[in-house]
Chains A and B, each alone.
Chain A
Amino acid sequence: MRAPLLGLAAALSFAGVAQAADLTVTIQGVRSADGYVMVALFDREDAFKERKNEIAALRLRAREGQVSATLHDLPAGTYGFAVYHDENGNSELDANLLGMPTEGYTFSNDARGSFGPPGFADAKFGLDAEPLKMTATLSY
């Protein structure tokens, strides 16, 4: 299924690249149909760390259970994604006064940091010419 894509930072079709593949992202553990599940895909460590300059961003209407979307024709390479459930639809990952997330979130590989967010090393995965399916589960 091609997901409703809103507010994209980059074009989602990379057709024409020599080696390219589709990436299907499935986000599980969505606790309600409120708001959106936001997925940001990164191809660089610094971008992942700062949650800036994503190469693709998905805004998927939330559905209790799981949501899924496919990004087409991504160049082969190393990627990592960060996800949150924007339950109140304010397009932000809400946080408490110490900056800890107060909405559900997860990362590719279900990577967990140690007393903080994970680094790219734990979240990264490789994509080559074959289509790839990645699943991650939200934590609230």
Chain B
Amino acid sequence: MFKRLLWHLLCGNKIRLMVALLALISGAAVISALMNLEFGVNRELAQEFRSLGANMVISALSEPADAGGTAAPLLIDVSVMQSLQVLQSSSVQAAPFLYLAARVNSTSNQNVVIAGTWLDRATQLFPWWQVTRGQSVSRADLTRCWIGRNVSRSLHLVVGSKLPIQYGTRTVDLTVAAIVDAGGPADNQVFVNLPVAQDLTGADGKAQFIELSVPGSTEDIRAVQNHLQSLLPGLSVKPIPQITEAEGSLLRRIRFLILSTGILILVLTALCILATMTALAMERRKDVGLMKALGGSMRKVLRIFFAEVGVLALVGGILGYGLGMILSFWMGQRVFGASIMPRWEVLPATVALMLLVTFAGALPLRFLGNIRPAVILRGD
């Protein structure tokens, strides 16, 4: 009897049903898409900011100089990179650096900065580099180098040119493998693999510092810093303030912006559905009156109507969730070029919210209990 009544109510007016369902589905779709996005967007945004490159640096602790000490840069062992292996899994990028100012052995006799690093890592650590017209160089290659744009201009070098370098009494002959447009100081530098720079300076197995690119929020970065500091007690592990501070504050603001826009839309969409459901419930006044006149108790009558809106909310919530997942997936593809995976915990949240909103919308029906059936049936 209960089921049959419910079925008849739902099928009674198809248009009305469609209208209410449409409002519920669209609301649920936006709400679940926003919730899903909120989970996925943090990771994507943190990833976006990794295009800033290194945000942490490991260097030697500066010690007080003895009297008349010279400002020779303190070096660290490259073997430290071994202990960074533990972090590689968490998509932390790292590369050692050793800088020196050497002389170009040609007619110009120009001084140039040589940066020794791992050339195969450079483009990951400096994602904004545009490596033009060149080939990649493996880490073990000791004869080829990358040169900055300005170096190429002022020394008239192209890919394939020879570049003889002299530092003190040591020399090395390099071949230009690629030209780097870095939009920064690296435009004036020559990049070689670390062993080349070590051979020139005689600092075997040493580097000046290690740069790291650590993804995540300010807290994540601090956690990695503390972890590294405990692993490497003799070295200084410091975030690069230009990057980490601005990145942290921007991330916080963008997240807060998306979160607050999301909550605003959530609340207002819920209220819109509430208004729709209230309108639907008000329409049921006549049916309530009729049922009461036929001797139905208020409780029984209300149960039927709440079951009706409950079914609506359930169906609307589930369909809306499906639509919302597609929406957020598409948003992720369109905005970040990465897929934002559906999260199952969003489904119960969406359905619960829809139920809450529809029941709140159906509440005015309760007050109909005070009205005498005759009044309603007369159509007043």
* A, B from the same assembly: no
